Every structure is written in structure tokens, then in C-alpha cells.
């Protein structure tokens, strides 16, 4: 038997180990999921929701234990780890209510025919999740899959297997056997799972991995929900509240050490206010201290591993060599960390302005008019989130409507209400989750019709 060894990213020391799922075992796990499907799918939506509501109580009660494990394994500050667990616990009830409303059958008639639309379970769903939010990211996919009556094979990131297993163990206290099973391992296990006899793959991760999943899933014409990478822009208009814009830019660039799919990675600022904005950003960036998960003073942790750290360093070095100017950080980074970095005089042809960084780097480029700003903001293949800051809200709203992203915020983050889907555009997403429409993606829609009696 082989094991995954989980490492503390701040020290490189082992946090623990867990058995790897053998490739030969995956067909049997799929078979068990199919066997569990009948009873689970025939429960009412309310009954399935009750199972998850009981799990929510356990998550809340054990949030400190689970949050500490999450922070040790992923690296984020302890308060952030505990907060993630509590958020997951507290978000289950509204999602259950949303599912109950979304999955009710609907009737329609046209004078001759009466039809009923049913949102039936799809079958066996693979959920493949990343390491950056190792509880909330899988939950966003697991909840709709389970509430819709599917059984799930959950493949977490090999970087954070312990917290993923602990999370699944809590859920499984209240789920029937075989409804939720965990597949542990690196990429090979993920590829084998995608190619197995399943009905759907829900994935959050890189664009490259998403393309590979799409290729492998095409053989079986499997349903896909892919949330992929981003290169989110922030547009700062000439009338923006610069203090608020700078505060948001730093918070959204440096959160989770920049390891966030909707991190602000490109900032386009009207040249009339560029100098003032740069000053405010530089002042705020100096307040972000990096440190290990148990350091109460730290606001961001280490990079998840040396490969990701080196990727960020390479992007910074290439940008500086190509003419970018350093306003803060950028040099003498402690081992395992990236000091929060602010670059200006960036250009759209730089690697750091085109491809996802996934690190605490804020890149600034000035613009002369809104047409140029929109062209620059829309100049990548990504389209997950975007933000506009401007005091004239109607004007800022019109600018937002020209941004080619799935989620756009005006004077706030790109997060919508609880009723809104999490959706990407372009190469940042294929399908979506959240909202009533998001639940429907995990269902098989069936239409049963009969003649209306004369």
C-alpha cells in the first residue's frame, strides 16, 4: 500500500499520511456508488437535506479542530481555517432550502398537452477539488450533487488529503454507506476516475486540467461542470474612491497568499489618478505580513509548494526584466513565502498580465480612456470575475456590462447574492454551480406529457 504524505507548506514537515486509493479499486468504488444510488435517489429532497443538516451541526461543533488541521495542511492563518469550516457549516441550511425549491417538478400546458418537468438524479458524480479552499471548494460541488440524489466519488487534491478526508468523514456520519466515497491520490487517480463508468464530473482547478478532463470525458459524453482559472481585472475609473479601490485591490490580491481563483491579478487605472492610487496601494501592501498558520499577526501564509512559489517568482522576474517597476516587495522573499508584491508600468504583453499567477502579486497598468481600459481588461482568454470602481454608479455599471467575465462587481467583489450562480466565461468555466439553475446541472431533466381531455 502506498501513502500520500501531507506536508505543512510553512515548514515542509509532515502533517500526516493517508492511504492512496489504488487504481484497481476505482471500478469497485463506482460499483458501490451505483449500488447505493437507488435508495439515496428515492429519498425525498427534504430527507436528503436532513442528513446534511445534521452534518452541518457536527462541522460547527468541531470547527476549531477541523480549522486547525486545514490551516496546518494548507498554510492559511488559523483564524482563516476556522472561518472556512464555520462558513461551510453555516451555508448548508440555505443551500438545502434552495435545493428544495429548485428541484420541485413543474407543470405546463398548451391547450392540447399537459407536461410535467422532473429534475431527477443523474447518477454517479465525480467531484474533483483543489487545495486552496480545501473544504469550501468541494462543498460547492458536493452539496448540489448529493441534494440532487446523486452518489459521489470525491477526489480531493493530493496537497490537502487530510482535511478533505476529515470533512468527508463528518458528512458520512449522516449519509448511507456508499453515497459519498473518497478517492485519494495524485493525477493518475483523477484521470482514472474521469474515465470510469460515471455520469458526471464536477471539477474546480486549472484550465489545463479542465481541458484534459473534457477530452477524457468526451469518450463517454459525460456531463461536465468545470470551474477553471482566472486572471481577474480591476478597473479604477477617474472618479473612483481611491481609498476604497486600493483597499479592495490589496485585500483581493493578497487574500490566501493570492491563491484564489478570483484574485485581482490585473489593475487598470485611469492615468489621471494613477499616482495617487499607487501611493495608497503601496501603503496598504506594507500592512500585509506573511507568516505560518499559528502566527496571530500573519495575514497570509506560505505558497502551497515550491513549484507554485517558483512560478510566481519567475513571473515577477520576467515582468521586472521587461520594464515593470517595483513599488513594494518583489525581492528577498523568505523561503516558502512570497512577500506581497506590487508592480506598476506593466504591459499587456507581459507573461504576468496574460497567464494566471496564483500568488500575492498586484500588477498595475495605466490607461488613457475607457475604450483602452476595456480592451485591456478583455485581452486574456480568461473570464471568471472582474470589478469596476467608480463613484458614478450608472457609468461604472455600463463599464461592467462591457466586461467579458461571468461575475462582475461594481464597487465590491464579484460575489453575487446567494441566489446567483458561480459562473465563468470564456476559458474560465464550462457550466456553473450555485443558484436554482446550478442545481439543475446536477440533474437529469425529464419531461412526461399526456393529452388534455377534451
Query: Can you give the residue ranges of every domain in the chain?
Result: 3-228+428-451, 232-417
**Equal fold, 3-228+428-451 vs 232-417:** no
pLDDT band at 454 (very low <50, low <70, confident <90, very high): low
Q: Which residues participate in catalysis according to the annotation?
A: 227
Q: Looking at domain 232-417, which of 3.40.309.10, 3.30.830.10, 3.30.420.40, 3.40.50.300 is its CATH number?
A: 3.40.309.10
Please say whether the beta carbons of 133 and 84 come within 8 A.
yes
Of the pLDDT bands very low, low, confident and very high (cuts 50, 70, 90), residue 218 is: very high
What is the pLDDT at residue 1?
85
Nearest to 289 by CA among 248, 252, 257: 257
Question: How long, in residues, is the chain?
Answer: 454
Q: Answer whether 433's CB lies under 8 Å from 406's CB.
A: no
pLDDT digits (tens, 9 = 90+) for 378-391: 999 999 999 999 99
With a cut of 80, say whether residue 227 has pLDDT above it: yes
Model pLDDT, residue 202: 98
Structure confidence at residue 434 (pLDDT): 87
Query: φ, ψ for residue 239 (rounded to 5)?
Result: -105, 15
Q: 3-class DSSP state for residue 180?
A: strand
Distances (CA, A) of 88 to 40, 92, 295, 390: 22, 7, 23, 33
> Hey, what long-range contacts does 374-379 have (CB within 8 A, 24 or more apart)?
374/235, 374/399, 374/402, 374/403, 376/233, 376/266, 376/268, 376/348, 377/233, 377/235, 377/266, 377/268, 377/403, 378/402, 378/403, 378/404, 379/348, 379/354
**Three-state DSSP state, 386:** strand
Q: Specify burial of residue 369 (Cβ count, 10 A radius: 0-12, 13-18, 19+).
A: exposed
Percent of the chain with pLDDT over 90: 97
Q: How confident is the model at residue 453 (pLDDT cuts 50, 70, 90)?
A: confident
Report the predicted TM-score, pTM, of the whole model to 2 decimal places: 0.96
Spatial separation of the C-alpha atoms in residues 344 and 354, rounded to whole Å: 15
Class of domain 3-228+428-451: alpha beta
> Residues 15-74: pLDDT tens digits?
999 999 999 999 999 999 999 999 999 999 999 999 999 999 999 999 999 999 999 999
Taking the C-alpha atoms of residue 320 and residue 326, their distance in angstroms, rounded to an integer, is 7
Model confidence pLDDT, tens digit, residues 305-326: 999 999 999 999 999 999 999 9
- Cα gap 209→157, rounded to integer Å: 12
With contact defined as beta carbons under 8 Å apart, do 290 and 324 qualify? no
Q: For the segment 246-292, what is each residue's pLDDT rounded down to a tens digit? A: 999 999 999 999 999 999 999 999 999 999 999 999 999 999 999 99
Among 97-101, 360-364, 450-454, the range scoring the smallest mean pLDDT is 450-454
Query: What confidence score (pLDDT) does residue 438 get?
Result: 93
Q: If you ran DSSP here, which 8-state letter would residue 13 be given?
A: -
Amino acid at each position: 500500500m502506498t501513502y500520500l504524505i501531507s506536508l505543512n507548506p510553512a515548514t515542509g514537515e509532515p502533517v500526516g499520511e493517508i492511504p492512496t486509493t489504488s487504481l484497481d479499486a476505482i471500478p469497485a468504488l463506482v460499483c458501490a456508488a451505483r449500488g447505493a444510488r437507488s435508495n439515496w435517489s428515492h429519498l425525498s429532497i427534504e430527507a436528503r437535506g436532513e442528513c446534511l443538516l445534521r452534518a452541518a451541526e457536527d462541522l460547527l461543533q468541531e470547527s476549531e479542530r477541523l480549522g486547525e488541521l486545514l490551516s496546518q495542511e494548507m498554510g492559511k492563518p488559523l483564524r482563516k481555517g476556522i472561518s472556512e469550516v464555520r462558513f461551510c457549516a453555516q451555508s448548508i441550511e440555505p443551500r438545502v432550502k434552495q435545493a428544495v425549491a429548485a428541484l420541485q417538478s413543474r407543470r405546463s400546458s398548451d391547450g392540447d398537452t399537459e407536461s410535467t418537468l422532473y429534475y431527477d438524479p443523474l447518477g454517479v458524480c465525480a467531484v474533483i477539488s483543489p487545495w486552496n479552499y480545501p473544504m469550501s471548494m468541494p462543498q460547492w460541488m458536493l452539496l448540489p450533487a448529493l441534494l440532487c440524489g446523486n452518489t459521489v466519488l470525491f477526489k480531493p487534491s493530493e496537497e490537502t488529503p487530510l482535511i478533505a478526508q476529515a470533512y468527508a468523514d463528518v458528512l458520512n456520519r449522516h449519509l448511507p454507506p456508499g453515497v459519498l466515497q473518497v478517492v485519494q491520490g495524485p493525477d493518475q487517480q483523477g484521470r482514472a476516475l474521469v474515465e470510469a463508468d460515471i455520469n458526471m464530473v464536477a471539477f474546480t482547478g486549472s484550465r489545463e486540467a479542465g481541458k484534459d478532463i473534457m477530452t477524457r470525458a468526451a469518450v463517454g459524453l459525460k456531463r461536465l461542470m468545470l470551474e477553471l482559472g482566472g486572471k481577474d481585472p480591476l478597473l479604477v475609473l477617474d472618479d473612483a474612491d481611491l481609498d476604497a479601490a486600493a483597499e479592495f485591490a490589496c485585500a483581493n490580491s493578497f487574500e490566501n497568499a493570492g491563491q484564489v481563483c478570483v484574485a485581482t491579478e490585473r489593475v487598470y487605472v485611469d492615468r489621471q489618478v494613477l499616482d495617487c492610487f499607487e501611493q495608497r496601494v503601496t501603503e496598504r501592501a506594507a500592512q500585509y505580513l506573511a507568516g505560518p498558520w499559528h502566527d496571530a499577526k500573519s495575514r497570509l501564509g506560505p505558497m502551497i509548494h515550491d513549484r507554485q512559489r517558483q512560478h510566481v517568482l519567475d513571473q515577477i522576474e520576467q515582468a521586472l526584466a521587461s520594464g515593470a517597476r517595483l513599488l513594494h516587495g518583489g525581492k528577498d522573499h523568505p523561503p516558502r513565502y512570497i512577500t506581497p508584491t506590487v508592480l506598476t508600468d506593466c504591459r499587456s504583453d507581459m507573461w504576468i498580465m496574460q497567464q494566471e499567477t496564483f500568488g500575492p502579486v498586484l500588477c498595475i497598468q495605466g490607461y488613457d480612456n475607457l475604450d483602452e481600459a476595456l480592451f485591456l481588461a478583455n485581452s486574456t482568454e480568461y473570464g471568471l470575475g472582474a470589478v469596476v470602481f467608480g463613484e458614478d454608479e450608472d457609468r461604472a455599471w455600463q463599464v461592467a456590462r462591457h466586461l467579458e467575465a461571468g461575475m462582475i462587481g461594481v464597487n465590491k467583489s464579484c460575489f453575487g447574492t446567494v441566489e446567483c450562480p458561480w459562473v465563468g466565461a470564456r476559458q474560465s468555466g464550462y457550466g456553473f454551480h450555485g443558484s436554482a439553475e446550478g442545481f439543475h446541472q446536477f440533474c437529469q431533466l425529464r419531461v412526461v406529457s399526456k393529452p388534455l381531455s377534451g
